[in-house]
């Protein structure tokens, strides 16, 4: 697929490299285009893409997409791994989500929230360090979620580790897990961990295949 990664920081670089190594054509959209041959302006990067990854500060996602323009964004898939935090690391959009705001502002775009509940090193190689983990997916468009599930598989996520929470409204729940993430980092003194949802009943999840129960691990 043609993928535009907006942002050339830790998440953008990791996801871009991971997806490129799986055979995808990846370009980066940056405020400073030209620093590498594949680093374009944000608008040029999105124009060439099927999937747009918003690896940006959560509070910059909406304004960046506004600058790129609805004409360019169209009905592309927007995979949003961002977290909207204040400089004090509290929730910037308490009671709301970046992904929900983007979907409301750009109704033709097909927004999927995923990968925002883990460190960037886990996003691109979950099986290297974890025997089981959960990646949450939220979005309104089933086809877009199938595409994102395929990209997650390319990054090393087994399908049974992917938990489809439902529509884009459920992104609020995972975005508001940020304080849990940071509290856990402090407790473990490490960011390399992941949430793992264990189902006590085989039918309790909305995953294509049920998550393993505790006794199966
Ligand atoms: N780091 C993690 O492990 C992790 C985990 C889960 C979620 N997240 C979320 O993922 C997103 C990216 O995180 P990150 O760690 O990659 O951050 P980062 O290293 O700071 O990179 C963010 C990139 O976004 C661009 N950017 C920065 N400020 C911007 C602004 N005001 N407007 C437009 N673009 C701006 C920059 O790229 P250019 O200079 O090229 O434009 C920058 O390199 C954030 O929302 C973060 O909360 C991060």
Residue from 4, 5, 6, 7 whose mutation best tests the ligand 1 pocket (most atoms within 8 A of CB): 7
Pairing of strands 110-114, 25-30: unpaired
Query: 10 C-alpha vs ligand 1 centroid, how far in Å?
Result: 7
Three-class secondary structure assignment of the chain: CEEEEECCCHHHHHHHHHHHHCCCEEEEEECCCCCCCCEEEHHHHHHCCCEEEECCCHHHHHHHHHHHCHHHHCCCEEEECCCCECCCCCECCCCCCHHHHHHHHCCCCEEEEECCCCCHHHHCCHHHHCCCCCEEEEECCHHHHHHHHHHHHHCCCCHHHEEEEECHHHHHHHHCCHHHHHHHHHHHCCCCCCCCCCCCCCCCCCCCCCCCCHHHC
Query: 48 C-alpha vs ligand 1 centroid, how far in Å?
Result: 21
Query: 206 C-alpha vs ligand 1 centroid, how far in Å?
Result: 30
pTM: 0.94
pLDDT at 203 (0 to 100): 53
Site residues for ligand 1, CB cut-off 6 Å: 7-12, 30-32, 55-58, 60, 64, 81-83, 116, 119-120
The CATH number of whichever domain residue 122 belongs to comes to: 3.40.50.720
CA-nearest residue for atom 15, ligand 1, is 10
Query: 112 C-alpha vs ligand 1 centroid, how far in Å?
Result: 18
Residue in 57, 191, 47 with CA at minimum distance from that of residue 118: 191
What is the CA angle 127-81-73, rounded to 5? 130
pLDDT at 204 (0 to 100): 42
CA-nearest residue for atom 32, ligand 1, is 60
Query: 57 C-alpha vs ligand 1 centroid, how far in Å?
Result: 5
Residues 108-166 have pLDDT tens digits of 999 999 999 999 999 999 999 899 999 999 999 999 999 999 999 999 999 999 999 99
Residue from 12, 38, 56, 64 whose mutation best tests the ligand 1 pocket (most atoms within 8 A of CB): 56
Q: Across the 217 residues of the chain, what is the mean pLDDT of every consecutive 10-residue run?
A: 98 98 98 97 97 98 98 98 94 96 98 98 96 98 98 98 98 97 97 96 51 52
Report how many domains make up the chain. Answer: 1
pLDDT at 207 (0 to 100): 47
What is the CA angle 150-84-116, rounded to 5? 25
pLDDT at 213 (0 to 100): 54
Query: 211 C-alpha vs ligand 1 centroid, how far in Å?
Result: 31
Pairing of strands 25-30, 135-139: unpaired
Spatial distance between the Cα atoms of 200 and 180, rounded to a whole number of angstroms: 22
Query: 89 C-alpha vs ligand 1 centroid, how far in Å?
Result: 14
Spatial distance between the Cα atoms of 173 and 208, rounded to a whole number of angstroms: 20
User: Domain limits at 146?
Assistant: 2-216
């Amino acid at each position: 697929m043609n993928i535009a990664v907006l942002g050339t920081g830790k998440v953008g670089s990791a996801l871009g490299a991971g997806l490129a190594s799986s055979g995808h054509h990846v370009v980066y959209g940056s405020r400073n285009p030209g620093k590498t041959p594949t680093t374009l302006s944000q608008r040029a990067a999105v124009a060439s893409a099927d999937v747009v990854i918003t690896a940006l500060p959560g509070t910059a996602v909406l304004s960046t997409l506004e600058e790129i323009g609805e004409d360019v964004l169209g009905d592309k898939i927007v995979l949003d791994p961002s977290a909207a935090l204040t400089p004090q690391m509290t929730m910037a959009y308490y009671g709301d989500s970046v992904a929900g705001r983007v979907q409301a502002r750009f109704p033709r775009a097909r927004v999927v929230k995923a990968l925002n509940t883990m460190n960037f090193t886990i996003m691109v190689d979950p099986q290297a360090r974890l025997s089981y983990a959960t990646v949450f997916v939220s979005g309104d468009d089933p086809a877009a979620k199938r595409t994102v599930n395929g990209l997650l598989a390319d990054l090393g996520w087994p399908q049974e580790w992917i938990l489809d929470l439902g529509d884009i409204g459920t992104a609020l729940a995972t975005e508001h897990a940020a304080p849990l993430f940071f509290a856990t980092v402090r407790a473990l003194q490490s960011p390399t961990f992941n949430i793992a949802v264990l189902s006590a009943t085989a039918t309790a999840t909305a995953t294509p295949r049920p998550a393993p129960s505790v006794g199966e691990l």
